[in-house]
Structure 1
Amino acid sequence: MWEDIWGDHMHHGFYDLHSTVSVSDHRAAQIRMIQESLHFANVSEDSTKWPKSIVDVGCGIGGSSRYLAKKYGATAVGITLSPVQVQRANALAAAQGLAHKVSFQVADALEQPFPDGQFDLVWSMESGEHMPDKEKFVGELARVAAPGGTIIIVTWCHRDLGPGEESLQPWEQNLLKRICDAYYLPAWCSTADYVRMLQSLSLQDIKSADWSPFVAPFWPAVIRSALTWKGLTSLLRNGLKPIKGALAMPLMIEGYKKNLIKFAIITCRKPE
């Protein structure tokens, strides 16, 4: 259903704050999200320094993997828990003539089936929020990164706690619980928590940013697409779970507007 309406990039778009957004801009904004993430992480434009091996952790149907493999001429492997996503991702890679460069497999991001130090670029686009053990998730990203390799995490977070705060406010906890129940998500963490975890692993050049303003048009656009005839018939055809998810979309918008939900990018480099 998502692919039919939005294409093969199962993540937010990155929008220009100073221009109006047309329907045709949304898929372009999803590509811009990938480009802006690479730029933020200082992935070199020098072709002699391009990553040669990439892992896409929580790959969905492989949109990022295929884009990165084509951009850098690299080999890429995507992992997801979903056999359905793996089957579709491999079919799309074959259809696009990329089967020799890109592959997908069912694997657990918390126990990745790769040796230490294998990948020049470790990519996680909106999968961190699905991880029940954030420490283990970050540890695995660091483990499979090659010396000098780049790690890029783009994920949903809750706001950083202020001085003297030990937890979110009750209303904030309640709103997040409703979202997590709708999207089958475990507990969230803050951007500051991710930075702390990366620091504990002695990773270098750690940077983070709140990109919430740049993704603000995304959820209203998803809601509008769900309310089209095509979207409504797809929802009804696919059963109760997608409908439950669609009904929770306004909660995401509320979370952003109240500065509870943050769309975060966190990047770093593994020491040589």
Structure 2
Amino acid sequence: MQVNSLSAEINEAEIVRYYENCQVDYELLWKLDRIMCMHYGYWDESTTSLSHALLNMNKQLAEFGSLKKGQRVLDAGCGVGGSSFFIAKTYGSQTEGITLSDKQVEACKSNALKQGLQDSCNFSKQNYLSTEFPDNSFDVVWGMESVCYAWDKKDFLKEAYRVLKPGGTLVVADFFSNPLSPNSKEAELMKKWTDTWAIKAYAGIEEFWEKMEDTGFVQRQRKDVTPSVVKSIKRLYYMFFPGLVSTYLLQLLGLRNKTQTANTWSTYYQYKAYQKNLWRYYFFTATKPI
């Protein structure tokens, strides 16, 4: 347990390093300054642009989780606040966004002021595995491409269960792994990808499904929405080739670092792993019993 705890602490520092170094990439390529979303986006017949897809992801996940007006929502792993702002505007909710990064907390608070949502959206530096919130505090726990960072996903589920009110809802959108043989080329490819994003490993689809039940959640639902993120998968891959040339040149000039170069390689690995059907993108939701 001591080794695992130490490893998790090291991983936490790596997560902060990744996001604080690579925020510039999201700003340049993913419209972060304007849309404030750091996820893959959701493409359907109504979406005509990346900006629309990014906003549509929030809409689709909220509808899948049956969010309601006036709920109190914990945005667990809030990035720069995009999901919190969407939920506050759309549902009139009070949100609490938490992140490991001081830089992201500052960005969230600045963005909240620009949006006029400083009274609806609060942000703080906290680990979603062990928060300062009392038991039974929230109607919804929202995890948008953030649960993957938990060293053990069940630790996230247990904390979400604790802070949810009876009848409260867990809502998750994330990457999940198909079964892999240990030490296989497929497992090696997935590790190359997760390493670039400071992730230990993605949860297995069935593993996460079972852990929700083991934690005590009921009324579980899941939905494979991989087809709706394919355009983003490909978009990132197409950015890899020009990005690789520029990132190495900039690294030689001292204008980019190894963490940022690794982020460029993530666009290649995620696509190659997708081609081999090693992962899927899922929505999960479940309820804490009354």
TM-score by length of 1: 0.87
**Amino acid aligned to 2:57:** M
Kindly indicate whether residue 73 of structure 2 is the aligned counterpart of residue 54 of structure 1.
yes
Shift of 1:147: 1.3
Partner residue, 1:26: 50
Contact 2:194 2:200 in 1 (8 A): yes
Distance 2:240 2:105 in 1: 25
Identity level (%) = 29
Q: Please, which of 251, 254, 257 is the counterpart of residue 239 of structure 1?
A: 257
2:39 pairs with one of 11, 31, 43: 11
Alignment partner, residue 220 of structure 1: 234
Q: Cα RMSD between the aligned structures?
A: 2.4
Q: Is the 8 A contact 2:239 2:267 kept in 1?
A: no
Alignment of structure 1 residues 1-272 onto 2, 5 Å: 1=24, 2-6=26-30, 7=32, 8-16=36-44, 25-44=49-68, 50-160=69-179, 167=181, 170-224=184-238, 232=246, 236=250, 237-272=255-290
Contact 1:156 1:264 in 2 (8 A): yes
CA contact (8 A) 1:223 1:246 kept: no
Query: 1:228 and 1:245 mapped to 2: Cα distance?
Result: 14
1:27-61 CA-to-partner distances (Å, cap 9, x unmatched) read 111111111112222334xxxxx242111001111
- Closer/same/farther in 2, CA of residues 238 and 94 from structure 1, 3 Å limit: farther
Greater helix fraction, Structure 1 or Structure 2: 2
In 1, the alpha carbon distance for the partners of 2:119 and 2:223 equals: 35
In 2, the alpha carbon distance for the partners of 1:228 and 1:173 equals 27
Q: What SS does the corresponding residue of 2:117 show, helix, strand or coil? A: coil
Aligned-partner Cα distance in 2 for 1:179–1:65: 28
8 Å contact 1:219–1:252 — kept in the other structure? yes
CA distance, structure 2, for counterparts of residue 262 and residue 202 of structure 1: 25
Using a 3 Å threshold, how does the CA distance of structure 1 residues 68 and 152 change in structure 2: closer, same or farther? same
State the Cα distance separating 1:211 from its structure 2 match: 1.4
Cα distance change, pair 87–142 in 1 and its aligned pair in 2 (3 A): same
Please report how far the alpha carbon of residue 210 of structure 1 lies from its aligned counterpart in structure 2 after TM superposition. 1.6
Return the alpha-carbon distance in structure 2 between the equivalents of residues 158 and 223 of structure 1.
19
**Cα pair distance change 1:227/1:75, threshold 3 Å:** farther
Residue 226 of structure 1: how far off its partner (Å)? 6.5
Q: Secondary structure of the residue that 2:271 maps to in structure 1? A: helix
**Offset, 1:219:** 2.6
Asked whether the equivalents of residues 237 and 271 of structure 2 are also in contact (C-alpha less than 8 Å), the reply is no
**TM-score of the two chains, using structure 2 as the length reference:** 0.81
SS at match of 1:220: helix
| 8 Å Cα contact 2:138-2:163 kept in structure 1 | yes
The 1-side partners of 2:54 and 2:241 are apart by 21
In structure 1, list runs of 5 or more residues that go unmatched.
Answer: 45-49, 162-166
Instruction: Could you tell me which runs of 5 or more consecutive residues in structure 2 were left unpaired when the two chains were aligned.
Output: 1-23
Structure 1 residue 66: Cα displacement: 0.9
